[in-house]
Amino acid sequence: MKIGFIGLGNMGGPMAANLAKAGHEVTGFDMADVAIDGVAMAPSGAEAAKGADVVITMLPNGAILRAVAADIIPAMTAGAALVDCSTVDVESARAVADQAAAAGLLSVDAPVSGGIGGAAGGTLTFMAGGSTDAFAKADPLFDIMGQKAVHCGEAGAGQAAKICNNMILGATMIATCEAFALADKLGLSRDKMFDVVSTSSGYSWTMNAYCPAPGVGPQSPADNNYQPGFAADLMLKDLRLSQQAAEAVDADTPMGQKARDLYAQFVENEDGAGMDFSAMLPRFEKRGRD
């Protein structure tokens, strides 16, 4: 395929490189001056999109997505597909899908899970929203960039799945970190805590696969001084999106709201900026009961 790729940062760059390695003709654009192996660089987003079978975007937020979509959709060829892999608000995803449909384009909102390592290794998971035809056009590219793609429903469903998943992830990480901090103060060793919880009803991904305690369980960012695999800043972004969506549909999400507030305090008022989201454990270790 001829592919335009807009947004070649820590995630988009490796994704575009993997598509080029697989033999696709990839033309990219980024506001920064970047060079990606196998990717020809265009002077603008519209130039990268011109004549492409599929245009993929990986952008920071919904406002930027809307601006980029307004620029590139008029340059795209009817029947082409716009595949947005950013994590944005559901409203922006649906607005861009409507704009694409009006121009005779297919569109998919397909946020990802798997982080920078997954982007480089081609092991991302894609949560996709859009028509069956749109998903079918994008799916061969998902197979190159990732290990799994789930068609979640119509436009916006991919973003909905991502923010619901990450609301669970944020709240679960907080509970896991709280429990380790409590175990410490009760005199329970972290190894014994892990052995019990990882094989009983407290089992969770944050305990078993991404343990926030250094030296316990599989390798995780905790073993690298909490350098990010998934930054606390990004968790805060996703939790804010979850609460924005909850407010829009009048959903009661008290745990999600509390998780958002705690990550906001951690990132904005404490030392969480630039740290992994599991660095909540040393945060709780330092604190007593309010």
| Tally of helices (H runs) and strands (E runs) in the chain | 12, 9
* 137, 140, 144, 149: CA torsion to nearest 10: 80
d(CA 248, CA 163): 14
Element spanning 128, H or E: strand 124-130
CB-CB contact of 58 with 9 (8 Å): yes
d(CA 140, CA 3): 12
Angle at 114 between CA 108 and CA 119, to 5 degrees: 75
Residues classed as catalytic: 162
Element spanning 127, H or E: strand 124-130
